[in-house]
Amino acid sequence: MNLDNICVVLVNTTHPGNIGGVARAMKNMGLSSLVLVEPKIFPSPDATARASGATDLLDHASIVGTLQEAVADMQLVVGTSARGRHIPWPIMDPHEMAGVVAKSQLGAVEAKVALVFGREDRGLTNEELHLCHIHVHIPSVESFSSLNIAAAVQVLAYECRMAFLAGERAGSQAPQWGTEWDADLAEHKELELLYDHLERVLVEIDFLDPAKPRQLMPRLRRLFQRALLDKIEVNVLRGILTHVQKK
């Protein structure tokens, strides 16, 4: 498992001190890549103070305008979720999530992974969660379930580090599908182009009514993201869609 392939993405963080706390939590566990999506205030002395020795992560943090931009080249996107959704999505606890991340790092192809955390007051929107392959839920007590974002990052980063250490102790392990894969996993931006293409074709063949879309596209998105498509599979599917359009 390669911890360098894992980045932490913070969406619309309100208090800069929380960004500093996240940087410290990451460095404690060996994570170094931080991406900030439209932070309210950054850089800030509060962030630097809370980082407490992890200011190098702040100095090299990337700042982007949208979550789509943050995860464009990621091959496994994990979204943190504190509540149930209208459409069930693959959901795991942090330990299970770390196992999936570890599997994605084995064999010839090492996936680039994003751990996405939402706003302090309301987390990630449904639309943002739909961009994620899996959701992770920290099973805190129901009567006091809200975690500080730095604490939430610490929990997930700890589980990733434990999976990393377990892999080092165990030596060679079976790759994610029991064999080394023959193609890189598709990047998020490639999947988004597939979903856009699929939606256009479904409208053209009158299978999808734009006025009454219901939950068709989110369910199809869930189907393909659950499958973890590789680049060749995405190209095959888009070729099929193009052929449908020609007919």
Report the pLDDT value the prediction gives residue 108, as an integer from 0 to 100.
61
Per-residue pLDDT of the chain (247 residues; tens, 9 = 90+): 789 999 999 999 999 999 999 999 999 999 999 999 999 999 999 999 999 999 999 999 999 999 999 999 999 999 998 765 667 888 899 999 999 999 887 766 688 999 999 999 889 999 999 999 999 999 988 888 788 999 999 999 999 999 999 876 655 455 677 777 788 899 999 999 999 999 999 999 999 999 999 899 999 999 999 999 999 999 999 999 999 999 8
Report the pLDDT value the prediction gives residue 109, as an integer from 0 to 100.
67
Give the predicted TM-score (pTM) of the model: 0.87
Same domain for 152 and 221, yes or no, is no
Domain closes at, from 138, 170, 202:
170
Burial 191-214 (b: 16+ CB within 10 A, else e): bbebbebbbebbeeeeebeeeeee
Report the pLDDT value the prediction gives residue 210, as an integer from 0 to 100.
93
Question: What tokens appear for 211 in the block?
Answer: 């006025």
Report the pLDDT value the prediction gives residue 51, as an integer from 0 to 100.
97
Same domain for 198 and 145, yes or no, is no
Separation of alpha carbons 137 and 172, rounded Å = 29
Structural domain boundaries, residue 21: 3-170
Domain closes at, from 170, 199, 217:
170
Indicate whether 178 belongs to any domain.
no
Could you give the number of structural domains in the chain? 2
Same domain for 104 and 154, yes or no, is yes
